[in-house]
Amino acid sequence: MLEGRSILAVVPARSGSKGIPDKNLRPLLGRSLIAWAGRCLAGLDWLDAAVISTDSRAYAEEGVRHGLAAPFLRPAELASDSAGAVETMLHALEESEAHFRRRFDIILIVEPTSPLRLPEDLEGCTRELISSGADSVVSVSPLDPKWHPKKVFSLREGRLEFFSPAGVGVVNRQELDRLYWRNGICYALTRACLKGKKRIITDNTRPWLIQREVINIDHPLELEWAEALLRKRERNAD
């Protein structure tokens, strides 16, 4: 428990990735993405439970090897790439509460595709959720100005045009407003938010800003980049 709240961490790990087959079992420095998530959660002595939500027995077994409970498998309707995050988390919460025979006040979503997370990231998100009274807290990173909507283009009938008409007047990046991207390190939300509002991001969602280099893996090249960043972190730690 943390500040009197009972906390459940859920590692969502669907097996049917199209971009990188069996992505969540792919090794980085000898550990799968699932293992990296489990290793981070093991550093939180205030967690009441940590589970893996998956449709794959192999993924479930990998989760158990790395400290995650696997008391259920996802049903088929939550195993496709069109399955909603809210429905998946509701299922995980209900199954976990039945298995552990307790009610959880806070749910942490810990995506295995963000292996550079640290225990303090998760604690920061959780404490911000509790202290702010928000529905949810989402970890974010500053967006590189080169990907700003005012700097990118769309194609129309073979011609380039600014995605945002306001981009025409941008002279330098200092004129751009600051934007942020969801890095997948942590989503922290209250039970009331998930079960009542059935949303993860609401009009009362707060940010948890992470300034260091992180990555959320979607493409094969990003696996190599994540491994390079992990090696860099380990060298700096030594």
pLDDT one digit per residue (tens) for the chain, 238 residues? 999 999 999 999 988 777 788 899 999 999 999 999 999 999 999 999 999 999 999 999 999 999 999 999 999 888 877 778 999 999 999 999 999 999 999 999 999 999 999 999 999 999 999 999 999 999 999 998 888 888 889 999 999 998 888 878 776 667 788 999 999 999 999 999 999 999 999 999 999 999 999 999 998 899 999 999 999 888 887 7
Alpha carbon distance, N-terminus to C-terminus of the chain: 32
Predicted TM-score (pTM) of the model is 0.92
Rg (CA), the chain: 19
Alpha carbons within 13 angstroms on the beta-carbon side of residue 118 total 11
The secondary structure element, H or E, covering residue 92 is helix 85-100
